[in-house]
């Protein structure tokens, strides 16, 4: 293991250890597990909305706003707000990205559709920002159908981006050739092998199923205040079980499906007679590394 591997692994281990230690300190301060469980039962009697999901969605919020759709769409927002700066910080502060899959598997995807156009993306961003602003800043329009502002922003962003890309101004032949070449390079360097592609459909289905069951409408199945296991409500057990399944899913996605591994054959693809001056990023010339490998 190289020094870079140790640096990144140490950050991840320290983060998880810190969370565990803080949890232990809090548990001791409240008087132990029995006192903690008794407090939860007392709280559930006075504020049941903290321990159950009131429904799939609501036009009004008599049982609290945290419906299944609110939880799902809120977590979409949370993933972007929390994960983006955290992973950016890790990416820029470590020397070697190879240990990143383990961190992503424990802690946390990007859809690149080749037919998206510049106009479609810009229009989608504008509409998405407007949707988030209207459904958050104005109380009378806040969280329609108990769907978080991020949910409305993502939905309208994608809808407008796809529609404008399909029916709006189309790229010129030269722009299309550049775009197709870019995506071809992505496929050659980051695409799955034929053996792994056969798992793509199953992976998509299970990933969507996990979202539905862990943080979506499936949480209603685990929302029953009459059932307590080991001193905690069923909903908490439901979340813990699906979190553990999610860790396994992320290991599969990050490693076997190669969503967080180093690209294969990057230099071989980029450094050819036809592409010696090709750069993935405009204005930056690619130069193959000449430093000796360790």
Q: Check pLDDT > 90 for residue 29.
A: yes
Q: Which residue bears the tokens 């979190």?
A: 243
pLDDT band at 109 (very low <50, low <70, confident <90, very high): very low
* Residue 228 φ then ψ, to 5°: -125, 140
Place of tokens 């550049």: 178
pLDDT of residue 123: 94
Higher per-residue confidence, 275 vs 29: 29
- Give residue 210's pLDDT: 95
Q: Are 71 and 238 in contact (CB under 8 A)?
A: no
Tokens of 156: 């309208």
What is d(CA 160, CA 143) in angstroms, rounded to the nearest whole number?
20
d(Cα 106, Cα 104) in Å, to the nearest integer?
Answer: 5
pLDDT of residue 4: 46
What whole-number distance in Å separates Cα of residue 56 and Cα of residue 81?
A: 24
Residue of 3, 51, 19 whose CA lies nearest to 233: 51
Q: Give residue-wise pLDDT tens across range 183-241.
A: 777 777 777 788 888 898 899 999 999 999 999 999 999 998 889 999 999 999 999 99
Q: In whole angstroms, what is the distance from residue 19 CA to residue 23 CA? A: 6
* Ramachandran category for residue 116: left, alpha or beta (phi over 0 → left; psi -120 to 50 → alpha): beta
Highest mean pLDDT among 14-18, 115-119, 203-207: 203-207
pLDDT tens profile 245-288: 999 998 898 888 887 777 666 666 555 534 444 444 444 444 44
Rounded CA gap, 261 and 255, in Å?
A: 7
Give pTM, 2 decimals.
0.71
- What pLDDT does residue 15 have? 80
pLDDT in tens, 123-153: 999 999 999 999 988 888 888 888 888 889 9
pLDDT tens sequence across 66-104: 889 998 888 877 776 656 655 666 566 666 555 555 555
- Integer Cα distance of 49 and 60 in angstroms: 14
- 212, 218 in Cβ contact below 8 A? yes
Nearest to 195 by CA among 112, 266, 257, 141: 257
Tokens standing for residue 52: 């159950």
């Amino acid at each position: 293991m190289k020094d870079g591997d140790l640096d990144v692994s140490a950050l991840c281990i320290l983060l998880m250890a810190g969370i565990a230690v803080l949890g232990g300190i809090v548990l001791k301060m409240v008087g132990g597990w029995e006192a903690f469980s008794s407090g939860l039962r007392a709280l559930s009697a006075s504020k049941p909305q903290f321990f159950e999901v009131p429904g799939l969605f609501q036009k009004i919020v008599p049982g609290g706003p945290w419906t299944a759709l609110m939880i799902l769409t809120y977590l979409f927002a949370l993933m972007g707000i929390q994960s983006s700066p955290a992973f950016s910080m890790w990416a820029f502060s470590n020397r070697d990205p190879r240990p990143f899959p383990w961190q992503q598997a424990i802690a946390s995807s990007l859809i690149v559709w080749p037919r998206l156009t510049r106009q479609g993306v810009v229009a989608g961003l504008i509409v998405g920002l407007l949707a988030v602003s209207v459904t958050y800043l104005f109380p009378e329009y806040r969280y329609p159908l108990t769907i978080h502002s991020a949910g409305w922003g993502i939905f309208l962003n994608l809808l407008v981006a796809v529609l404008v890309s399909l029916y709006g101004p189309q790229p010129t032949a030269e722009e299309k050739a550049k775009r197709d070449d870019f995506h071809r390079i992505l496929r050659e360097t980051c695409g799955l092998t034929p053996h792994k592609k056969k798992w793509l459909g199953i992976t998509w289905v299970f990933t969507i199923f996990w979202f539905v069951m862990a943080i979506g409408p499936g949480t209603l199945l685990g929302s029953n205040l009459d059932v307590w296991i080991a001193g905690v409500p069923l909903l908490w057990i439901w979340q813990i079980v699906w979190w553990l399944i999610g860790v396994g899913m992320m290991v599969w996605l990050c490693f076997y499906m190669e969503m967080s591994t180093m690209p294969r054959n990057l230099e071989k693809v980029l450094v050819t007679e036809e592409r010696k001056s090709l750069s993935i990023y405009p204005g930056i010339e690619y130069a193959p590394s000449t430093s000796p490998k360790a």
